[in-house]
Structure 1
Amino acid sequence: MYNADQWKDYELLDTGGGEKLERWGSYVLRRPDPQVIWPIGSETGLWSSADGHYHRSSSGGGEWEFRTKMPDRWSISYGELKFHIKPTSFKHTGLFPEQAVNWSWMMDKIRKAKRPIRVLNLFAYTGGATVAAAAAGAEVCHVDAAKGMVQWAKENAQLSGLANHPIRYITDDVFKFVQREQRRGREYDAIIMDPPSYGRGPNGEMWKLEENLYPFLESCRAILSPNPLFVLVNSYTTGLSPSVLHNLLQMTIGQKYEGSIHCGEIGLPITASGLTLPCGILGRWESQ
């Protein structure tokens, strides 16, 4: 288990009854989580007075109930990194705090490389990894199919003092972008990806992880530099095991480059119980 346990501005306070209770800076939010299949110990205190509570609808989706007048968005920090937080209509806040364990890891790898590093961040969302890699000194190319998420990522970079850093922002279907980069002969020293289970590109392109991840990793292998630093794959797809991710990395990146592969669950510590909430899996290939 890779545990994101170095937060100060975020805290997973408690879990139970299919929900999690979280502190984002000075605000407490209550949101659904499918991994939480145990009961709430006692639905009192912050459980009953959370500033925001996302209620799922039986017909799909849901909506927020706010008990406190809150700003449209606010910011939190993870070390030197800063991010805008906003409760969205689909329950998310614009940040996956468990990914902090990857931000710390990649920043350490980039800084210790002692050479210019070019990073490609695919399915890049609001740019948590983009901000981390840039703060560590890397040149970054940020690619996501959603225009709104790319704009959010730009604002996160500005918030972290990286407005003038070499970051390229691309709104595009990631598969087609990687293929074009291959034709252009462009190479990257590190590739990060957080592919969804299902998705659509800006022109209706379909993505299904179980069908597309292997060929996509093959395409990414073709644009790695001769001396790559790392490849990081995150997944929130239910049922995909770390061992499967290990096999995929070994059969693609490991076929061409010598290095080591580490895969496992990623999680957050739960303050109230001392347990860990699993939040997905990761796979890391890194050079020796």
Structure 2
Amino acid sequence: MSTLKAWENYKIIDAGNKEKLEQLDDILIVRSEPVALFNKEKPDLWHDVHAVFKVSAKNKGQWQIHKPLPQSIILKYRDWQFISALGKFKHIGIFPEQAQNWDWMQNIIHESQRTHLKVLNLFAYTGGATVACASMVGVEEVVHVDAAKKMVQWAKDNVKLNNLTHQRVRFLVDDVMKFVEREIRRKRQYDIIILDPPSYGRGPNNQLWKIEDHLIPLLHKLKQLLSDQPLFLLLNSYSTHLSAMMIQNMMMDVFDQGSLQVNEIGIPISNSKKILPTGVTGKWTP
């Protein structure tokens, strides 16, 4: 398993009984966590929190606020800053475990010593990978695509916060599959492709996405968008029903040449030997 390096002001204090206790700067929150199928180690720390996300029927829920909260919090990793806030579906505007993938991307880009690289970031959320790639000297353009208008605006704010507005970042609110099909017709190509698809979702025009049905067809299409000298394709999955081996098999159906590394990723729990699993990452390089 690949694990997260330390953020400056984010950590998981404890986890267990399908919940996790997180610290964002000096704010404590509790969120549901289906993979925390073990016991809490620090039960006394769970009582004095600022907010709790309570799951209700049909896997929905809402935040219960117990103490005054700022409208947003700036989370810091390395030289980057990201806006965090309590949102719908228990989201906080950032997936902290993805920082290890940002580090890996930057290392690959740096070691390649290449310039004029074109990056496609799909299901791009609030732009963590967009910031990581746009801050690299060798990157000429980042195309950031997400179906949610609010998330794209959030990503724009993160890019601005990191003083990267001078970089060539193109933001698009679009259905990923439809966008990719148009790019194929336009004969566009990218040296780097990043995708972080949800288990289930809908596009701006109510287009249905189900990862078990649509991931392999999407990967086949993305293979057509890779340049003649691609650097990498990185896939991240949070779907608890898709194991690392299942993701590996799906990627092997498409990428039968080159190198493929598929690993679980996770976040160490503070002052504990336990690691909270947070997803699976597949990395293809030629």
TM-score, scaled to structure 2:
0.95
Q: Runs of at least 4 residues of structure 1 off by over 6 A?
A: none
For 1:83-122, what per-residue CA distance to the aligned partner results, in whole angstroms no more than 9, with x for missing partners? 1000113211011111111010001111222112111000
Matches for 1:213-232 after TM superposition, within 5 Å: 213-232=215-234
Question: Does 2:167 match 1:185?
Answer: no
Alignment-mate amino acid for residue 61 of structure 2: G
**2:105 aligned partner:** 106
Structure 1 runs not aligned, ≥5 long: none
**1:206 aligned partner:** 208
Alignment-mate amino acid for residue 129 of structure 1: A
SS in 2 for 1:234: strand
- Within 2, Cα distance between the matches of 1:42 and 1:241? 29
Deviation at 1:59, TM superposition (A): 5.8
- Within 2, Cα distance between the matches of 1:66 and 1:29? 9
- Within 1, Cα distance between the matches of 2:169 and 2:76? 20
Alignment-mate amino acid for residue 71 of structure 1: P
- Within 2, Cα distance between the matches of 1:274 and 1:5? 15
Question: Does 2:2 match 1:2?
Answer: yes
- Within 1, Cα distance between the matches of 2:200 and 2:60? 17
- Within 2, Cα distance between the matches of 1:165 and 1:95? 22
For 1:30-80, what per-residue CA distance to the aligned partner results, in whole angstroms no more than 9, with x for missing partners? 1110011223234213x1111222222246422222232111112111112
Alignment-mate amino acid for residue 265 of structure 1: E
- Within 1, Cα distance between the matches of 2:211 and 2:59? 22
- Within 1, Cα distance between the matches of 2:252 and 2:151? 31
CA contact (8 A) 2:124 2:196 kept: yes
Question: Does 2:61 match 1:62?
Answer: yes
Structure 2 runs not aligned, ≥5 long: none
Alignment-mate amino acid for residue 68 of structure 2: K
**1:285 aligned partner:** 284
**Worse overlay, 232-241 or 214-223:** 232-241
- C-alpha RMSD of the superposition: 1.4
**1:175 aligned partner:** 177
- Within 1, Cα distance between the matches of 2:273 and 2:35? 16
**1:248 aligned partner:** 250
CA contact (8 A) 1:63 1:89 kept: yes
Matches for 1:1-288 after TM superposition, within 5 Å: 1-45=1-45, 47-58=46-57, 60-116=59-115, 117-137=117-137, 138=139, 139-254=141-256, 258-287=257-286
SS in 1 for 2:225: coil
CA contact (8 A) 2:14 2:41 kept: no
**Worse overlay, 196-205 or 36-45:** 36-45
For 1:151-183, what per-residue CA distance to the aligned partner results, in whole angstroms no more than 9, with x for missing partners? 000001111111121000011011111111111
CA contact (8 A) 2:13 2:22 kept: yes
- Within 2, Cα distance between the matches of 1:147 and 1:135? 23
CA contact (8 A) 1:81 1:135 kept: no
SS in 2 for 1:44: helix
TM-score, scaled to structure 1:
0.94
Alignment-mate amino acid for residue 94 of structure 2: L
Alignment-mate amino acid for residue 28 of structure 1: L
Alignment-mate amino acid for residue 182 of structure 1: I
- Within 2, Cα distance between the matches of 1:277 and 1:8? 19
Deviation at 1:251, TM superposition (A): 2.3
Alignment-mate amino acid for residue 197 of structure 1: S
Deviation at 1:283, TM superposition (A): 0.5
**Cα distance change on mapping 1:41 and 1:250 into 2, 3 Å:** closer
